[in-house]
Structure 1
Amino acid sequence: MPIKSSLPLDPIVNIVVNLAAVSATRKQFNLALLIGDIGDEVDFGMNRIKTYNSINTMLQEGFTTEDRLYKAASLIFGQSKVPPKVAIGKINTLKTAGKNTYTVTTNGAADTDTVKFGNVTLTAGTDYEAGTDTTETATAIANAFNSKSEINTVYDVAASGNIITITEKIAGSGNTPGSMECTGTIVINNGAATASTTRKETPVETIIACRQIDSEWYIANYCGDLSDDDILDIMEYVEAATPSTMFAFTTSDIKCLNDEDNIFVKLKEKKYRQVIGQYSTDNPDAICAIIGWAMGAMSVSTIDSAYTLAYKSEVGVNTENTLQEITSSQIDNVKNNYGNIYINRGNSYDVFEEGRVADGSWFDEIIYLDKYKNDMQLAIMDLLVNNNKIPQTENGMTKIKDAVKTVCDDMNRIGFIAGGKWLGNDILELKNGDILPNGYVIQSEPIDNQSQANRDARKAPPIYVALKLAGAIHYVTIQVDVNR
């Protein structure tokens, strides 16, 4: 029997299946970057950054137990809360190519350091740079001359091969024609080549390169020697870096105990917020212990999983007051300048005190607000990508605010924000003293009030989110009255 052909059902029953685009991967803010020298014996390939899920994996790829990066990673992975991985960043060696030197002959006089003609003197390395051949050098000198025009003076400069022809003219004023002052040539003769040089990247150069090549890590520790100036240079970049970045460091400078001019004071004066430092004479990377704990805590997103760094243990680090005689006032000096220190209290408690960043804010607030900003951006972007369009109506604004609400609800779920009284400035309908039951309120300006220009540009009216942080208790006072 012949097989009968079958006609499709689509004209009668048309089923359309839409699969939403995969949401952008949300950064968990649980990846620390350790930066250091990578030996030739380590299987790092051409990578600038590699991630490892254990110190065993690092050993398998050539690190040794004596490597500073290995020791720092041991602190990261050795805490009671453990992150899933750590990133290792490589300090590169930079090579500067050698350059040819030239003898420059001007009006018959040879000079390798300067070029003199008429009213202009050019200094090698300041006004011009020797190229790889005489033509490039001649062009560089010609360009430098062209930039040196003075009042009522004009230079006509042309470079051809290794010869520069210069005409210096006096410009006329009004209807008065200009007059020729002098004309001459510069001859560039090929000379010896200088050798190429190499140098190690500066700490800030390495941080910048690692930030630009990888957007996933959140906080970096430089496993190498750092001066106060190095840290300040790093922070000038980190404070404004995108995506949000933090830097951690350890110092053993004794001046930090005595409220003298020290790195904690300098960072405090600059009001830097994206940096956390620890005083320790026990381990040059002691801060990695508390950072490892924090990255481990950020790996958990359950009810009431928000945390503070105060009074946590640093496994693998000795408390400072067991290593040296240290007074309460010296500990207060560190803390008053928003540094941190690991100490023993009451013989029974080894505690990290107390989780401040350089401007006095709390580390947990900074990292969770950075995460909140990141999650909000991704939530809105997902909304815009996964919909045909968001109408420029109040209904469209409700969709956007619902996306914001999802992020706020998550912050409430983990315990970073909580219900309470708003004590900030009035914002639209929110007044000082109002209660925020869930720790937040989301408002927007009426879409009917937006300007025609903003409507034509398809901009949403401003959205205002007021957050009430849950905060944390670090100090307790109890009064006990006894009567016989």
Structure 2
Amino acid sequence: MATKALSVDRVVNVTINLQPLAASRRNFGVLLIAGASDVIPPAERIRSYTGIDGVASDFGLDAPEYLAAELFFSQSPRPAILQIGRWVKTPCPAMLRGGILTAEEAARARWTAIADGSLTLHVSGETHAVTGLDFSEVTNLNAVAAAISGKVASSGVACAWDGERFTLTTLDAGPGASLTYCTGAAEGTAIADMLKLTSATALAPQDGLPAETIKECVVELADRGDWYGLAVADDGLGVDDHLVVAQYIQAASKSRIYAATITDTRVMDAAYADDLASRGKALKLSRLFCCYSANKYAAISAIGRAFTVNFSANRSTITLKFKQLPSVEAEGLTESQANTLAAKRCNVFAAYNNDTAILQEGVMSGDTWFDEIHGTDWLQNAVQTELWNLLYQSKTKIPQTNSGVHQLITCIENVLEQAVNNALVAPGTWNGDGFGQLERGDYLPKGYYVYSEPVELQAQSEREQRKAPPVQCAVKLAGAIHSVDVAINVNR
């Protein structure tokens, strides 16, 4: 047999073209709770949880973040994911976080063998040699951290062990504080590598930070994650603080909502207009969800129920009215108080005289229902994402022809069919302005109508920019029944 041979590709050439992965739709069930507890480092900012046990492990049982998360995860059905974000409410010290130690690296015997440990610190531009670290009698790594803290306090630094890594923090806080990686020392046993605080083993150093306002915090958190809902677990926020956050959420290009609980009983007084609900209504903040309750995190429970909606499932959309708030005590209201709250577009978990309690009314501060905002935000993102994927994944171009536009319309209609399937959209009479073949008063048998003018009518300047003709959609929301009037006529 010949030692050399030609490639079969000369005769039969087969190639595989893998389609790129489609872009994912947003998750409209992610709530972010912002809090000022110093558990999450500013460099990390946001941490995700799938259950209350993880929150308890990180924050303990008394932190505001835990108390808020407990209500969120108490809902039935239980929401799937929660994020907690760090608010740098007070000046923050500089921080150097070491790498995670393996079980072997954390073994006590490895540390008790050291009686002359040393390392060099670099704090706010100054170098400090630390020697004479004796771990021979320590019982755990918390004791190792305590021994280091005792030696480095004079250098303006403290050391802590969190169960998996060592962390150095400066005693001074604010933008003037800084820490860089630890290095070895001239004498004794070098332990910087054992602590995993060197440039080869530690995370990037974090300089000290100034205190930030709640709005500055939210703007920073908005850049860090893809969360949809926001609540703040902090007792110190006033009406103005809530409003600046709500107004930022309202103006932001990425659709989100803000939930706030009102504990001030003056909200039930029709003559009082300086509460969050009244001012949010006056500003028509359609992305602000207010809830009155003696429980300062009641709104988070309501959002937890809303965020269990799976828009891909059949008949899965809900109205927030009539829903339960587990672990929240229902408010006993007079008719006047209930009417005042409704007039201010303030939700409340109210007790009824048939031994039941419900959340009412399921509204935003603007002239919208919660489920309308939630559902249409999903719809906007679903249409946007699927059109992107159509253009992105196509092996050939989408032509600037009527057949190409038809592909766009088909893509949109597929999403609208999902909206019909999940009961966001339903057949009904169109009462808006007409376009295309649709006129006011026409019945939409599918619940929607999609129209685009023929490509031949497109302006040449638009065509030269390779734009598709504008696509217009008419969508009829399914709505929800919130009350019933029944007349029973009796005849003898």
Q: Which bin holds the TM-score, normalised by the shorter protein?
A: 0.7 to 0.9
**Which residue is equivalent to 1:59?**
56
Alignment correspondent of 1:263? 276
User: What is the CA distance between 1:52 and its match in structure 2?
Assistant: 0.6
Alpha-carbon deviation of 1:11? 4.0
Deviation at 1:265, TM superposition (A): 1.3
Residues 453, 198 of structure 1: alpha-carbon distance in 2 compared, 3 angstrom cutoff: closer
Structure 1 range deviating more: 369-378 or 344-353: 344-353
1:284 aligns with 2:296: yes
Indicate yes or no: 2:359 matched with 1:352. Answer: yes
Q: How does 1:9-408 map to 2 (within 5 A)?
A: 9-39=8-38, 42=39, 44=41, 46-61=43-58, 63-93=59-89, 200-214=211-225, 216-224=226-234, 225-259=236-270, 260-261=272-273, 262-281=275-294, 283-296=295-308, 298-299=309-310, 301-321=312-332, 326-387=333-394, 388-408=396-416
Distance across 2 between alignment mates of 1:280 and 1:95: 32
Contact 1:376–1:407, Cα closer than 8 Å, also in 2: yes
Query: 2:119 is matched with which residue?
Result: none
The aligned amino acid for 2:470 is P
**Does the 8 A contact of 2:268 with 2:341 survive in 1?**
yes
For residue 251 of structure 2, give the secondary structure of its aligned residue in structure 1.
Answer: coil
Partners of 1:327 and 1:93 lie apart in 2 by 39
Taking only the aligned residue pairs, the percentage that are identical comes to 31
Structure 1 residue 4: Cα displacement: 6.4
Is the 8 Å Cα contact of residues 42 and 88 (structure 2) preserved in structure 1?
no
**Alpha carbons 2:55, 2:69 under 8 Å: kept:** no
CA offsets per residue over residues 7-53 of structure 1, 9 Å max, x none? 444444443432221111211200000010123xx365731001011
Instruction: Structure 2: state its 5+ residue gaps.
Output: 94-175, 178-207
1:160-182 alpha-carbon deviations (Å, 9 max, x no partner): xxxxxxxxxxxxxxxxxxxxxxx
Change over 3 Å in CA distance of 1:198–1:398 after alignment to 2: closer
1:179 is matched with none
Letter in 2 for 1:394: N
Q: Given residue 267 of structure 2, which amino acid in structure 1 is its aligned partner? A: C
Q: Matched residue pairs, number?
A: 377
**Counterpart amino acid of 2:21?**
V
Q: Distance in 2 between matches of 1:85 and 1:364?
A: 19
1:93 CA displacement: 4.6
Q: Do the aligned partners of residues 70 and 369 (structure 1) sit closer, same or farther apart at CA in structure 2, a change above 3 Å counting?
A: same
- Note the alpha carbon deviations across 1:139-185, whole angstroms, 9 max, x for none: xxxxxxxxxxxxxxxxxxxxxxxxxxxxxxxxxxxxxxxxxxxxxxx
Matched, 1:453 2:461: yes
- Report if aligned partners of 1:93, 1:200 keep a CA contact under 8 Å in 2: yes
| Mapped partners of 1:96, 1:37: distance in 2 | 11
Distance 1:76 1:381 in 2: 33
Q: Distance in 2 between matches of 1:417 and 1:10?
A: 53
1:96 CA displacement: 11
Check whether the contact 1:319–1:344 (CA below 8 A) recurs between aligned residues.
yes
Offset, 1:481: 1.1
The answer to whether the Cα contact below 8 Å between 1:84 and 1:299 also exists between their aligned partners in 2 is no
Q: Are the aligned partners of 2:42 and 2:86 in contact in 1 as well (CA < 8 Å)?
A: no
CA change 1:316–1:483 in 2 (3 A) is same
Provide closer, same or farther for how the CA distance between residues 71 and 453 of structure 1 changes in structure 2, counting only shifts above 3 A: same
Q: Name the SS of the counterpart of 2:421 in structure 1.
A: helix
Contact persistence 2:447–2:476 (CA under 8 A): yes
Contact (CA 8 Å) 1:304, 1:415: kept in 2 or not? yes
| 1:288-328 deviation per Cα after TM superposition (whole angstroms, max 9, x unaligned) | 111111111x246311001110010000100011xxxx311
Distance 2:346 2:463 in 1: 48
Partners in 2 of 1:43 and 1:271 — Cα distance?
34
Tell me which amino acid in the other structure corresponds to 2:257: M
| In 2, Cα distance between equivalents of 1:76 and 1:292 | 5
Tell me the SS of whatever aligns to 1:432. Answer: coil
What is the identity, as a one-letter code, of the residue corresponding to 1:76? Answer: F
Q: TM-score if structure 1 supplies the norm length? A: 0.74
8 Å CA contact 1:83–1:299 kept in 2: the answer is no
Q: Is residue 268–residue 359 contact of structure 1 (8 Å, CA) maintained in 2? A: yes
My pick for the range that moved more, 466-475 or 347-356, is: 347-356
Seen in structure 2, the aligned counterparts of structure 1 residues 471 and 96 have a Cα distance that, compared at 3 Å, is: closer
1:352–1:96 distance in 2 versus 1, CA, 3 Å: closer
**Kept after mapping to 2: 8 A contact 1:93/1:198:** no
SS in 2 for 1:248: strand
Shift of 1:223: 0.8
| Secondary structure of residue in 1 paired with 2:231 | strand
TM-score, normalised with respect to structure 2: 0.73
Give the Å deviation of 1:452.
1.0
Matched, 1:416 2:412: no
Q: Gaps (5+ residues) in structure 1?
A: 98-194
- Relative distance call for 1:213 and 1:13 in structure 2 (3 A) is same
- The structure with more radius of gyration: 1
Shift of 1:204: 1.2
Query: Partners in 2 of 1:28 and 1:12 — Cα distance?
Result: 49
8 Å Cα contact 2:311/2:422 also seen in 1: no
Q: CA deviation at 1:208?
A: 0.9
